Amino acid sequence: MFVPEAEGDAIESAASFGGELKALLDGFLATILKTVGADAGVIRLLSSNGRELHIAGAVGLPPEVYEHESQVELGCGVCGKAAREGTISSAEAGTCAWRSNPQFFGDDCKRVIAVPLEFRGKLIGIFNLFFRSEQEITGEATALIRSFAEMIGISLDNFRLVRENRRMNLMAERQAIANEIHDSLAQTLVYGRMRMSVLQEAIRKQDELLIRKCMRDVNEALDSGQKSVRELITHFRCQMDPLGLQHALQVLVEEFGERSGIALEYSNRVADPGLPLEHELQVFHIVREVLANIATHSGASHARIQVTRKGKRYIFIIEDNGAGMSQETPLDGHYGLTIMRERAQRIGAEIEVESAAGCGTRVQLTFSAP
């Protein structure tokens, strides 16, 4: 049976999206269902690689059907037809039964409608309406559905623009902070230089007490400067793609294959995590660091990135079929784990590394939704 609307809201629809977008899409779906008499609805957004559709909002679907339908190929069934032809398409629900729940699409749902979501002529997703009966959609209902599709497309694009503007503003603020830190570092360097001059004079006079004091001062200045530089480089100077983590990872994957010659498989089952900028920065640079190690040290012919979400936990897995490392190999130093773990700590994440000689290496990054 269809889940009643009140219960459907409890389903983790668009759980991997930001709360603002989820609220927006849920509101659209609830209005559409009431207006056209549908029993359930789903809004799917096109993945960054343009080959899959991911659920961004769902009302009225049973949890097990939601799970099966969370990701589908763009060319699949009635959704694929709507995408290819750019028109509203309708089909018997049985065409979806092979992929998902045969009982649901056989008994509780008789007809499925797919509506392309476009903005300025570009496909950005599909939304589906599910009907308990075999009834055909009237011309008036079709016009309403088309109007809703246009509004959803405009709203999604506006949401994207707002989020990109926020991200760019945050990046500009971070750049300003980085400049201030850089200026403060100059004071530390000046102090260190002054103490070096005193140290040279102490050495000339063979003043052991002053020599030890100057050496301590210089050492403290170097420690302070090194800490500031590391923070500057690894935190404030990190650049992020204005289009977000998903787009940045897609570009990184494409560039990795071209430069390294290693076949890289990329599987992302989280359409849009909606993470804060700090999380996006650290996740991106951790993934990039792991790929750099694979390209430089592993001797692998194949690598894989998997992005999933279980409950409130995001999981990024990067693995390769390379030479791996024996238990005697100092893993932290060899694989650059120190910096990666520092990055992970900033967002409350955990990094696990598994590696054995001749069996490749597996790195898993896990963190909770902020």
Average pLDDT over the chain, rounded to an integer:
81
> Per-residue pLDDT averaged across 267-276, rounded?
81
pLDDT at position 302 is 93
Q: Which CATH architecture has domain 5-137?
A: 2-Layer Sandwich (3.30)
> Per-residue pLDDT averaged across 313-323, rounded?
92
> Per-residue pLDDT averaged across 224-244, rounded?
67
pLDDT at position 180 is 62
Reply yes or no on whether the pLDDT at 238 is more than 60. no
Q: Which residue has the higher pLDDT, 316 or 239?
A: 316
Reply yes or no on whether the pLDDT at 14 is more than 80. no
Reply yes or no on whether the pLDDT at 317 is more than 50. yes
Predicted structure pTM score: 0.54
> Per-residue pLDDT averaged across 36-46, rounded?
88
DSSP label of 12: -
Reply yes or no on whether the pLDDT at 252 is more than 80. yes
Reply yes or no on whether the pLDDT at 287 is more than 90. yes
By DSSP bridging, strand 52-59 and strand 40-46 are antiparallel
Rounded CA-CA distance 323/297 in Å is 8
Render pLDDT for 55-77 as a digit per residue (tens, 0 to 9).
Answer: 888 888 888 888 888 888 888 88
Query: Which CATH superfamily includes the segment(s) 245-368?
Result: Histidine kinase-like ATPase, C-terminal domain (3.30.565.10)
Q: Which residue has the higher pLDDT, 34 or 328?
A: 34
Q: For residue 299, how far is the Cα from the chain centroid? A: 27
Q: Annotate 152-211 with DSSP letters as a single string.
A: HHHHHHHHHHHHHHHHHHHHHHHHHHHHHHHHHHHHHHHHHHHHHHHHHHHHHHT-HHHH
pLDDT at position 333 is 47
> Per-residue pLDDT averaged across 1-9, rounded?
35
